[in-house]
Amino acid sequence: MTEGHEPELSIDDQAMLWVLEGQKDPESLAQAMRWCAESPEHRAAYDRVEAALIRLDPAGKSLRSNEMAGQTGRSDQRLWKLAVAASVIGLLVISLLGFKKEAGQPQGQREVAVGGGRVQDDPLVLSTKRGEVRKVTLADGSMVTLDSDSRLLVWMRSDRRNLELDHGRVHFEVAHDRSRPFTVMADGGSTTALGTVFDVERRAQCKVNVVLFEGKVAVTPPCQPQRGDGPVVKRYLEPGERLRYSPPAAQEIPAVPEPAPANEGQWVTGVKSYNDETVGSILAEVNLYSQAQLVADTPGIANMRVSADLHIRNPQNVAKHLARSLGLTVEFQGNDKIILKK
């Protein structure tokens, strides 16, 4: 059982305190994630509170920044945290009442999504920090796994399910519902699926990758100019295929489906199998998960090739494994750099 807040508090109150504390330091965030892992109810409550704070971000920032100076005792800190929680909960109640009043008016009517009380124009926002991988069940039963440093916006509507990947990578396991298409947007392009398992990745402007594992998807390219002379070209993927898009100025030929590497999607588990891969490519992926960056000392080392099963979220272990396999040494420079050297 995670050491944390008083058990007499409700799960929602505990979630509020964990969210507030997790925004202050990494150790508290790690404790919060352990609390979330104890039960689905903890995870759901944490997601609700975090999404609500993001929607009310100006108020949330103001509340979080007004910590009372000089009060270092446990009781004083607890009273302050509960006061902040009560204030934010009050704002949420007022906000939801406002939505209900607005929904009763003929014009500007809003649609409330089932499960979560989110309105049509107000998305659920899911995000992860560097090194965090997070799995969330959406209101329709679909499951999304957010990779390190990712941000996903979700709109659940009665006739469709719209999502937008702001940045990062997400693994989608889509609940079957033919009456509501499931569409993921990224840089103006879209991936539409029904009962499908796929990844969408966006790490830079107009650089989008789509990988299909099960089912079928229709993909439109990102960053395309508006055209009035015809429909947008769609590409259809079969399981085991991927599409890779680059900025229009850099992409010499239109993207076409190609076989996906066998290790695509393994990032979800944290252990990835590399077959004759360059050290540089491996380091680039490992560096997505840690503040401590892995660096090849020379281009020659970066171009070395290796086959291995690696724990990509643990840069120290990756460095030691590569060093043993390739006859290299490992040099640690402080807490933020690990260098592979001859």
Cα separation, 214 vs 238, in Å, equals 8
- For residue 54, the surrounding DSSP H or E stretch is helix 40-55
- For residue 40, the surrounding DSSP H or E stretch is helix 40-55
- By C-alpha distance, which of 118, 125, 116, 127 is closest to 29? 127
Cα separation, 95 vs 103, in Å, equals 12
**Residue 143 token pair:** 């499951």
Residues contacting residue 234 through CB under 8 Å, at least 6 positions apart: 218, 219, 220
What does the angle CA 81 – CA 153 – CA 198 come to, to the nearest 5 degrees?
A: 125
Q: What is the pLDDT of residue 34?
A: 78
Would the pLDDT of 291 be above 70?
A: yes
What is the mean pLDDT of the segment spanning 60-77? 42
Q: What is the pLDDT of residue 95?
A: 40
Would the pLDDT of 46 be above 70?
A: yes
Q: What is the pLDDT of residue 14?
A: 84
What is the mean pLDDT of the segment spanning 15-26? 76
The answer to whether 305 touches 277, Cβ cutoff 8 Å, is yes
Lowest-pLDDT range of 12-16, 243-247, 257-261: 12-16
Q: What is the pLDDT of residue 78?
A: 52
Q: What is the pLDDT of residue 9?
A: 76
pLDDT per residue over 174-226, tens digit each? Answer: 999 989 999 999 999 999 997 799 999 999 999 999 999 999 999 999 988 76
Q: What is the pLDDT of residue 229?
A: 56
Lowest-pLDDT range of 103-117, 251-265, 326-340: 103-117
Q: What is the pLDDT of residue 263?
A: 95
Q: What is the pLDDT of residue 151?
A: 97
- By C-alpha distance, which of 91, 82, 83, 85 is closest to 59? 91
What is the mean pLDDT of the segment spanning 313-339? 94
Q: What is the pLDDT of residue 275?
A: 96
**Residue 281 token pair:** 């490519």
If DSSP states are collapsed to H, E and C, what string results for 198-226? EEEEEEECCEEEEEEEECCEEEECCCCCC
Cα separation, 126 vs 165, in Å, equals 10
Q: How confident is the model at residue 105 (pLDDT cuts 50, 70, 90)?
A: very low
Q: Per mean pLDDT, which of 24-38, 116-130, 251-265 is the most reliable? A: 251-265
Q: What is the pLDDT of residue 327?
A: 96
Q: How confident is the model at residue 54 (pLDDT cuts 50, 70, 90)?
A: low
**Residue 258 token pair:** 């190609």
- By C-alpha distance, which of 157, 163, 61, 145 is closest to 116? 157
CB burial of residue 139 (10 Å; 0-12, 13-18, 19+): middle
pTM over 0.85: no
Residues contacting residue 147 through CB under 8 Å, at least 6 positions apart: 128, 133, 168, 169, 170, 171, 201, 267, 288
Residues contacting residue 196 through CB under 8 Å, at least 6 positions apart: 172, 174, 182, 212, 214, 215, 216, 217
Cα separation, 128 vs 126, in Å, equals 7
User: Whole-number mean pLDDT of the chain?
Assistant: 80
Q: What is the pLDDT of residue 227?
A: 55
What is the mean pLDDT of the segment spanning 17-30? 74
What is the mean pLDDT of the segment spanning 248-262? 87
Cα separation, 310 vs 97, in Å, equals 50
- 314 versus 103: the higher-pLDDT residue is 314
Cα separation, 312 vs 290, in Å, equals 10
Q: How confident is the model at residue 64 (pLDDT cuts 50, 70, 90)?
A: very low
Q: What is the pLDDT of residue 2?
A: 54
pLDDT over 70 percentage in the chain: 73
Q: What is the pLDDT of residue 194?
A: 76
Q: What is the pLDDT of residue 230?
A: 59
